[in-house]
Structure 1
Amino acid sequence: MEISISNYWRKKIFRLNKDSKVYISKENANFLPEYIKEDVINNDLKFSVGIPESCEEQYDDGLIIFEFVTEEYPDIKSYSGNNPDVQ
């Protein structure tokens, strides 16, 4: 959720080409929102964010879906619906 509402990350994700991903880890922690930065660094969290072709969860029409996948457990996924007019 924190990445979905971060202006910096939203711009990067909305600009992705099909089948591309943004990778988030302690290597780019300087760009993380302060309230999650420490958790990412201390726990060495790594995940990718992309725009999936399909999603089992339901969202309002017109929203762009972001798919979050953990590197260590790729079967664990989370989604968010995002208004492309808000960047």
Structure 2
Amino acid sequence: MRLVIILFALMSQTFGGSLVEEISDNPCGVNSVKASCAFDCPSDFCPQDDSGEIAVCDAPQNCPPGCTCKYGYIRASPNDRSCIEPQDCSKYQK
């Protein structure tokens, strides 16, 4: 029984520690990742109105590294940079 407890403790320490490292290694936040080129286009945010306009957006020549939303997520607004699923935009609109 003592061996089982020791093995469980070792496994918890090993796997639990690596999970904490993975989470804390992401300085970008929930649902976002580091990118070698991070810039914001209007389509990267929840729509602010019902116009349905689509703006063409090209990366700048000297695009800086930074954080961007994971695929399938967009920013809630220019002021709230949380990465959310598009269907949740209504929760963040005024």
If the length of structure 2 is used for normalisation, what is the TM-score? Answer: 0.23
Q: Which has the higher helix share?
A: 2
- TM value normalised by structure 1: 0.25
